[in-house]
Amino acid sequence: MNSLILLRGLPGSGKSTLAKELSESGKHPVFSIDDYFTSAEGEYRFEFEKNHLAYKNCELNTNQAMQSKATKIFIDNVFSLEWEMEPYFKMAAEFNYRVFVLTVENRHHNKNIHHVSDDQIKRMAEKYKVVLL
């Protein structure tokens, strides 16, 4: 069975770095809403008013990878709110993918590369929920 791995965590936690590592040097696709805001030259420019487009773009890329039967797909997004993961759970069910949700913590005390303020990260952390079933 194919796998969808959702890497969630606050900005600077190392989600993107871990996703690249787990993708086996690009053998498996990695998607993120950050992709939408990153130019071909690697410059990141976030535009809040386009955030909904970034979410849709990430979902579309994931859907296309599932249609292509990618054996492993990695998504690295903050996913602080449950609804942000729901489209991926639905796609996984539709295409018969196992879902793994991994939480990445900033135990290395790294700073995020997107210049998200410490205050904003604290507000995000307050919304962050861990599901216990």
| pLDDT tens, position by position, 1-45 | 999 999 999 888 899 999 999 999 899 999 999 999 999 998 988
Contacts of 127 by beta carbon, 8 Å cutoff, 6+ apart: 80, 81
**Residue 128 confidence class, pLDDT cut points 50, 70, 90:** confident
| pLDDT tens, position by position, 42-56 | 898 888 899 999 999
Q: What is the pTM of this model?
A: 0.87
Q: Under DSSP, is residue 100 helix (H, G, I), strand (E, B) or coil?
A: strand
Mean pLDDT computed over 77-92? 93
**Among candidate residues 56, 32, 36, 57, the one with its CA nearest the CA of residue 45:** 36
CATH of 2-127, one of 2.60.40.420, 3.30.450.40, 3.40.50.300, 3.40.50.880: 3.40.50.300
